[in-house]
Structure 1
Amino acid sequence: MEKPFKRDIYFSFFMFTADLRPNDEAYTRILIRHLQALAEMGYTGFDLHIATGPAGVDHRTEVDDYVRLKRAFDHAGFRDARFTTNVGTTRTFDPTSPYEEQRRQALAYLKSRVDITSVLGGEDTIMSGPFLYPYGVFPLTDSGDQIWSDALQDWLKPRYAAASSPFKELAEYAREKKVKLAIEPVKNWETPGTTMVSDALDFLDTHDIPMCGVTIDTAQVVMESQGPAIFKDNIARAVRKSQLNYIHISAPDRGAVTDSWIPWDIMLGEIEPVYTGPYLVEVFNAIPPFDSSMRMTRRRFWRPGEDEAETGRDSAYDVARSGLKTLEDKLAAFGRSPSR
């Protein structure tokens, strides 16, 4: 008899931090308390952002730091928990650079992030994020003006072409490590490219990189896409080449998922029949650097064990718990069972 399908639902640590500080034992204990609380709610996995180290850092040393962090997680009872990662490229580590040496540096950086993802998540895990074009780096003309619209697209085309060779090598490296790559498009006021799922799929198709895939984030799609017809086409395009690698469930304001403006029927109606991977509940809390980089005006969800408790206001755990319940209810409406 065939076993019933079980859906894994993960939670993003963007609620708590953008830097795991793997060498900070005191902070590791805080992270473990968050893991324990989320696991008790019913989450089966966790998405962790891998911060960029200081200039000149030895990537091998960074990997070793995360080996120690994973040992601490294992010792705390999370040996079998699933971990995925969120990774971004930077002005320094830019695989789209016109300079070969900089592209080589970016490739070494991204390979180290694949290594860290493998360390944390084991086999068949996922490295997601805006790791094609550097996040938040807007191009300028010689006179210092920002480049937009047709001029921006013309400017990006050779940058993406330059990235094709390092990305092919990265994709092969990730395949050997059994890590799925998932480029995440991000809305246009955060970064100039890629901003739409179509952009990421076009890059992979144009430069023949089938072993890399995409992340579809509900918030990004609502704020930066052409509409339901293109969304449906993008899902079909990604599925045809086994490139639909991760789904992020995130509210358009990046806050609580419950009672948000996510068009559940449209999105899950296309995704659920064809996707068997994990869903990630992703909430960006109003903490550095998100409060400034994402121009957050809403108050912070207070983090148990880190912030002073605030009576009458939702904690990070309240938001996580209600987000899980909301997603489970929505999935149940499509006939799929959650993981618990």
Structure 2
Amino acid sequence: MRRAIYCSFFMFTADLRPDDTQYTRILIDHLKALTDMGYDGFDLHIASQPASVDHKLEVDSYIGLKKAFDKAGLQDAKFTTNVGTTRTFDPTSPYEEQRKEALSYLKSRVDITSVLGGDSIMSGPFLYPYGVFPLTDTGEGIWSDALLDWMEPRYLAARSIFRDLGEYAATKHVKLAIEPVKSWETPPPNMVSEVLDFLDGFDGLPGGVTVDTAQVVMESQGPSVFKRNVARAVQQDRLFYVHISAPDRGAVHDSWIPWQTVLGEIEPVYRGPYLVEVFNAIPPFDSSMRMARRRFWRPGEDEPEPNRASAYDVARAGLETLREQLAHVGGA
């Protein structure tokens, strides 16, 4: 069976700017080029807006973007979304009104995922706000045991929100795949097991996990724990998405991804799409991830640099590498 492989638009942008018709034409050119390469679908980041922006207007803007994609001949393209919560829209907040606002925000992201992808996946760090590290009253960081203890009431506060969100997502045929992200980027959940522990309180309601190779290599405890986590996620039918990303978040080919360890566990039991995820050295990633490597220049957006790899070169090589590794695992 030929496996579906998607391309992350973190190669090009973290904001689709759906109301910008000129930028929409650039997005369409990228989508067509990547489709011609052989990608089966795309993962699009849904940027957060100020709290004053009406969520319905946001959804409407993505309806217009999808119509533009369809009009350009991309009506058969498949889309998943990447979503993160924020300091404002925090489902783990101790304040009920703030949790309700977070629920409204996350429902709008489910709507956008449905608009773009139909029966699709909403993935990302949308449990605890990405990159919002807690501080004591004296401004000191909270770490280790104290941080994990601090998170416990946060998880408890978020459960009712995620129960409602899961029920809503099910009506839209959208799978919710929480992605654990490494600890130097954001507080927990940082590991697959932490996401599964949170979801165990859902009593079978929709909700799953995204496994990202970069997060697994840099944050998890080792191959045996990874094996148990994959088995646990599969047994609970919670393995919803798999991201193939290099530890340095750059090019996937010739990277430190432990292909046999990861795919050897996942490929026999996973039937969803794989995502080739490369974070290009563009805002906000260049500063938030403190990138020292050069940008992969983007055709149609950056000045051509013939002696250096373009974003298309890196995307093509990533697709070819993943196909080769999947074939190798399948053959073995």
| Cα offsets for 1:185-243 (capped at 9, x unmatched) | 00001001111111100100135354100000000000000000110000011001110
1:193 to 2:193 alignment: no
Unaligned runs of 5+ in 2: none
AA aligned to 2:117 is: G
1:226 to 2:240 alignment: no
Corresponding residue number in structure 1 for 2:89: 93
How many positions carry a matched residue from both structures?
Answer: 331
AA aligned to 1:165 is: S
Asked whether the 8 Å contact 1:239–1:274 carries over to 2, the reply is yes
Unaligned runs of 5+ in 1: none
The CA distance in 2 between the partners of 1:130 and 1:322, in whole Å, is 27
AA aligned to 2:110 is: V
Give 1:312 deviation, angstroms.
1.0
Identity %: 74
The CA distance in 1 between the partners of 2:310 and 2:2, in whole Å, is 28
Match of 2:176 among 181, 184, 206: 181
Corresponding residue number in structure 1 for 2:211: 216
Corresponding residue number in structure 1 for 2:51: 55
The CA distance in 1 between the partners of 2:266 and 2:3, in whole Å, is 13
Corresponding residue number in structure 2 for 1:75: 71
Give 1:77 deviation, angstroms.
1.0
RMSD: 0.8
Name the SS of the counterpart of 1:181 in structure 2. Answer: strand
1:305 to 2:270 alignment: no
Name the SS of the counterpart of 1:201 in structure 2. Answer: helix
| Cα offsets for 1:263-315 (capped at 9, x unmatched) | 00000000001001000000000000000001111000000000001121000
The CA distance in 2 between the partners of 1:206 and 1:157, in whole Å, is 13
The CA distance in 2 between the partners of 1:221 and 1:286, in whole Å, is 22
Asked whether the 8 Å contact 1:15–1:285 carries over to 2, the reply is yes
Corresponding residue number in structure 2 for 1:320: 315
Asked whether the 8 Å contact 2:43–2:79 carries over to 1, the reply is yes
TM-score by length of 2: 0.99
TM-score by length of 1: 0.96
Corresponding residue number in structure 2 for 1:103: 99
The CA distance in 2 between the partners of 1:87 and 1:312, in whole Å, is 35
The CA distance in 1 between the partners of 2:40 and 2:73, in whole Å, is 13
Name the SS of the counterpart of 2:44 in structure 1. Answer: strand
The CA distance in 2 between the partners of 1:73 and 1:266, in whole Å, is 38
Match of 1:39 among 35, 39, 55: 35
Give 1:334 deviation, angstroms.
2.2
Asked whether the 8 Å contact 1:167–1:209 carries over to 2, the reply is no
1:286 to 2:296 alignment: no
AA aligned to 2:300 is: G
Corresponding residue number in structure 2 for 1:14: 10
Name the SS of the counterpart of 1:242 in structure 2. Answer: coil
Asked whether the 8 Å contact 2:234–2:269 carries over to 1, the reply is yes
Match of 1:158 among 126, 140, 153: 153
Mapping for residues 131-146 of structure 1, pairs under 5 Å: 131-146=126-141
Judge which range, 197-206 or 160-169, deviates more. 197-206
The CA distance in 2 between the partners of 1:164 and 1:35, in whole Å, is 37
Give 1:335 deviation, angstroms.
2.3
Give 1:55 deviation, angstroms.
2.5
